[in-house]
Amino acid sequence: MSAELIAFKSLFPSPFGYVNFGESNRELNKELIEDIETHRSKHESGERTFRGNNNSWQSEGQLESTYSSFEKLRKQIDEAAKPILKHSGYKEEHLPHIKVSNLWGNVIFDVGGFSFPHIHPTHMSIWTGVYYPSGVEGGEYEDLNQFVEEDVIQLHRQKGEGALVLFDPSRDQKQLISGAVDDKEYYGGEVTIFPRESLLLLFPSWMPHMVMPLTTKAKRYSISFSILKDYV
């Protein structure tokens, strides 16, 4: 072989970040779940259309205006998101104008509960994310400070109680060659993330995602939100 140079680069990567708040959020997590259940008891039918089936419930947004626990979480997310957004390329002068807002609660509560693949499109939302005040019932951790990335984030589709699946927007094309390659990082097209108490996930609003069905009567709590910009 006489080539002078052979090179490989990854083009158009998709940004993604996560934060483990660990044991420090134990008490806050209890408050969040209590407030979700309080709100759910008052609005049993849900006030927004959940992108799932009858075994799931979703609140309206802006719960940070109603419950102090949600406002405390909003401030935590706002602080944690800034370095992740900076690392992904956002300019320092724009970071003060990026705000976390519109928190809402989700509950999947019975066998077969799931959500369809969807995105979170708004004209001002740049990133979105999810926070887990608990793992799926039966999958709790004794020490939330112990975190092994490979146990939580898998670079392909995995079965798991209420697992979140993130999709590469170009996955349809990549699936045409998935049987011919071994490298899931470049050609897998899907990432599976298992819910874990105190885990925060951040990703662009345009990234498709879904929730895998529950196979037991366990409950799955999550809190979703938008990251907005107020600059031109």
**In CATH, what is the architecture of 17-153+195-229?**
Sandwich (2.60)
Can you give the C-alpha Rg of the chain in angstroms?
19
End-to-end CA separation in angstroms for the chain: 52
CB contact at 8 A, 184 and 168: no
Write the pLDDT tens digit of every residue in 154-213: 877 777 789 999 998 877 776 666 666 666 666 667 899 999 999 999 999 999 999 999
Tell me the pTM.
0.89
Give the span between the Cα atoms of 141 and 214, in whole angstroms.
Answer: 19
Q: Which residue ranges make up each domain of the chain?
A: 17-153+195-229
Among 206, 203, 183, residue whose Cα is nearest residue 193: 203
The C-alpha angle 25, 26, 32, rounded to 5 degrees, equals 80
**CA 80 vs CA 19, 87, 191: distances in Å:** 7, 12, 22
Pair of tokens at residue 213: 């069905």
Each residue's pLDDT tens digit in the chain (232 positions)? Answer: 678 899 988 888 889 999 999 999 999 999 999 999 999 998 876 554 456 666 889 999 999 999 999 999 999 999 999 999 999 988 999 898 889 999 999 999 888 888 888 888 766 689 999 999 999 865 567 789 999 898 899 877 777 789 999 998 877 776 666 666 666 666 667 899 999 999 999 999 999 999 999 888 889 999 999 999 875 5
